[in-house]
Amino acid sequence: MRKSQNRLGYVMAALVVTFVLCAVAFGQKSGSKSSLTGHYEGTAKNRAEEVITVALDLTEKDGVLTGMIRSSHGDFAITNGSHKGEDVTLEFDAGGATGTITVKLAEDKLSGTWSAGDDGGPVEVKKAAAKEEAPKK
């Protein structure tokens, strides 16, 4: 009886150790870089110091970003995007020219600069709740 209790104890200890190691490995893999998928809202400024409202709808898969930029100056498709560590780069179609947003991730905020043609300036957006579309009648 005592030997079977000892074996059971070793088996239980081995299972607990295995579970802890798996949990740590999963946490490192999934927690090492948070996904940017979501809705972001904020502002940008152009060279004329005009404040532009900006909303980003981003989807991230394997470090590649896709989505839309909606602003008071129009809507722009993201044609190429990357996320490496805290560095985020988005390229967008600015009506023929390629625009670029280069920002740093800090908590739930993206801060940096944008440029398109001969215009550009600072941009800052913060993660927000996704906007629900009004039901169609």
Residue 104's nearest CA partner among 128, 74, 124 is 124
pLDDT of residue 61: 92
- Tell me, what DSSP letter sits at residue 32? S
Q: What token pair was written down for 117? A: 């043609």
Domain boundaries, the chain: 1-32, 38-128
Is the full-model pTM beyond 0.75?
A: no
The label of the residue with tokens 């490496």 reads 84
Question: 38-128: which CATH architecture?
Answer: Beta Barrel (2.40)
Query: What would the pLDDT profile of 96-132 be if each residue is shown by its tens digit?
Result: 889 999 999 998 999 999 999 999 999 999 999 876 6
Distance CA 67, CA 65 (A): 7
